[in-house]
Structure 1
């Protein structure tokens, strides 16, 4: 029986349960690891004895061996080490969290099995700059861009684009105030913003030319299957710059979209370069039918789209995890020693 390890957290959405059930239906065995409960409830052990490496995951008296898993899906690692502040003094927390991260991610990186995407590959994808450089090298269009913490450089860039410029963060940036998370969305840069741009010196941001939009695309790639959807974000004033502001309102407005063959092939080339089997890609289609690549999200959501096509994305993900269809795979070791 093929075992599949899923790295997630206890408050993740339904997609993990859906895929776990499909793995069972196809004869596999899913192992869910909620990392927000590690190390308070889970124990993770990697041992080298008698010239063999063995890895074990213990939870509530039950032990799973991980050295013999078929595949790994790194889905999320939100709230890793949650709850430690209730059992440890504050002076130890930072160092302990560091050891927890090194232990977990070191184990994931070293597993000699198929992975939807290695943790190190996902961290590489944090570089939006590299993504755009690779995309443009492959012949995809990317917006004029300036990533800087220089107020002078940002001012010059914005003024060089009289049709408008937008500004956004490169990471999942949020401001926490009074216990509430306030996500920083993409915004248009206004003239009055340039008057108070000096504070940019302390936090770099990404500036881009403002593109006119016919539709916005979310392209989900699993293995070599492409699932493209379009939404008309321009029909809602609050979604024109960033559709996520009206994500709930637009939930059922996404429709399947046929990508041109040359765009498909270039996106698959990007997946090959990064050696990943999952990517959620954002693209803008302009009124003159030009396709502008924005970014690949290494763990972007897909479940709201999966429901619109009778679970085709989760089915494809399950097949890739069980090795029943194409997957990009380079073993950690040329010859398995486990």
Structure 2
């Protein structure tokens, strides 16, 4: 049986499930709002929520998409006993998650949040080119119009207080220096790219698309600032074998076997930018006719 950990109504998950149904495969989808209780029946561990119940040893493969397993814990009036039981339940939960992740899997709940700075360091060790970067609390060393800045954290969506509007922190070019200091910020060399490359990676195999974002001022720095009236040209693309091999080494170092990876190309050079283990790939799949949803279903 296949276990899928995902967010409620997540579109990518829905598309993979369509293939699983067509293949007549049994699966359980765990939503982000589910809370499980760990139980034992005839020496077998099983998990039970209001929506699902399953034995851990019945799971043959697992896909961590988003969300993850959450557990309810028993509490006691005695504070000393409660502290002990809380720790005990923590290790029991950890054991269950590790048991599931030891099976055939696509990514893991235990390491789903990756550190961008650490990833860049490991990318260099894997032999990939990375634009020069540094952390700073001021713009003293910044070269205007030749330096970009972006979030150190994962993709950030800011919501306005008291309204439904929201904004995304995009990659931006630093056009002038600032006189005051600020919180530690990520700065990186701006590469004048020929085009961008989005690669979907699954267990050693890569599928790529070239995104010609340079032809539109709106998308030159960050192609996620989509121009829906005049979309960028996107075409199938094959990364050089050497880059794919180094990418595979990086993913092994990070213990991640699936994700969306961003590169930029300038001349004969390919620069690694970042990895998103749960990044969107339906657009890439559809435009290039890769059927990545089926690839995932087949793997599971």
Same fold (TM over 0.5): yes
Partner of 2:147: 165
Q: 5+ unaligned residues in a row in structure 2: which ranges?
A: 72-86
1:294 partnered with 2:294:
no
Runs of 4+ in 1 over 6 A off after TM superposition: 102-105
Which of 281, 290, 293 is 2:261 aligned to? 281
1:240 partnered with 2:220:
yes
- Partners of 2:44 and 2:55 within 8 A in 1: no
Q: Aligned pair in 2 of structure 1 residues 231, 239: CA closer, same or farther (>3 Å)?
A: same
Partner of 1:138: 126
Q: Aligned pair in 2 of structure 1 residues 179, 109: CA closer, same or farther (>3 Å)?
A: farther
Q: Deviations over 1:30-56 (max 9, x none)?
A: 211121x324xxxx1212465432223
Structure 1 residue 307 displacement after superposition: 1.2
Structure 1 residue 315 displacement after superposition: 1.5
Aligned length: 278
1:11 partnered with 2:9:
yes
Q: Aligned pair in 2 of structure 1 residues 141, 104: CA closer, same or farther (>3 Å)?
A: farther
TM-score after normalising by structure 1? 0.74
SS of the residue corresponding to residue 110 of structure 2 reads helix
TM-score after normalising by structure 2? 0.83
Partner of 1:26: 23
Partner of 1:176: 159
Which of 165, 171, 174 is 1:189 aligned to? 174
Higher helix share: 1
- Partners of 1:56 and 1:67 within 8 A in 2: no
Which of 204, 211, 220 is 2:200 aligned to? 220
Q: Deviations over 1:73-105 (max 9, x none)?
A: 111129x99xxxxxxxxxxxxxxxxx9xx7998
d(CA) in 2 for partners of 1:311, 1:105: 37
- Partners of 2:216 and 2:232 within 8 A in 1: no
Q: Aligned pair in 2 of structure 1 residues 142, 281: CA closer, same or farther (>3 Å)?
A: same
d(CA) in 2 for partners of 1:209, 1:309: 30
Structure 1 residue 260 displacement after superposition: 0.8
SS of the residue corresponding to residue 142 of structure 1 reads coil
- Partners of 1:228 and 1:258 within 8 A in 2: yes
- Partners of 1:306 and 1:313 within 8 A in 2: yes
- Partners of 1:57 and 1:65 within 8 A in 2: no
Q: Aligned pair in 2 of structure 1 residues 63, 247: CA closer, same or farther (>3 Å)?
A: farther
Q: Deviations over 1:84-127 (max 9, x none)?
A: xxxxxxxxxxxxxxx9xx7998454442422211122222x2x1
Q: CA RMSD in A?
A: 2.8
Structure 1 segment 110-125 matched on structure 2, within 5 A: 110-111=99-100, 112-123=102-113, 125=114
